[in-house]
């Protein structure tokens, strides 16, 4: 698993644009924004203003999918055949 960061730019109290980056965003020297490299475009983005950064662990979904795939492959224990009682 690796860490990914979601950087959100806010406008009027609502999220207006989001980016994903693999390295922790760097706080600008002025302290009013962040700088990071976008995963999608590979470009350096510098945001000034209302910004939030969320940290996530990627790979969780892949691990869960692999777990359930293995569970589904395992044969189910045999259940005794029952005869109807009517």
Q: Residue 72 above 60 pLDDT?
A: no
Q: How far from chain centre, in Å, is Cα 59? A: 8
pLDDT tens digit sequence for 13-38: 999 999 999 999 999 999 999 999 99
Q: How far apart are CA 13 and CA 50, in angstroms?
A: 9
Overall pTM > 0.75: no
Q: Taking the domains of the chain in order of start, what are their residue ranges?
A: 2-73
User: Which tokens go with 8?
Assistant: 């959100």
Paired strand residues for 56: 4
Within 8 A by CB and 6+ apart from 7, the residues are 18, 19, 20, 21, 25, 34, 36, 45, 47, 51, 52, 53
Strand order in the sheet with 51-58: 14-21, 2-11, 51-58
Kindly state the average pLDDT of the residues 6-13.
Answer: 94
Q: How far apart are CA 59 and CA 3, in angstroms?
A: 9
């Amino acid at each position: 698993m690796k860490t990914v960061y979601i950087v959100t730019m806010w406008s009027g109290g609502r999220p207006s644009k989001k980016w994903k980056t693999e390295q922790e965003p760097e706080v600008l020297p002025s302290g009013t924004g962040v700088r990071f490299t976008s995963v999608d475009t590979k470009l350096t983005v510098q945001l000034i203003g209302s910004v939030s950064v969320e940290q996530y662990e990627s790979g969780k979904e892949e691990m869960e999918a692999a777990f359930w795939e293995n569970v589904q492959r395992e044969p189910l224990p045999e259940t005794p055949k029952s005869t109807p009682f009517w």
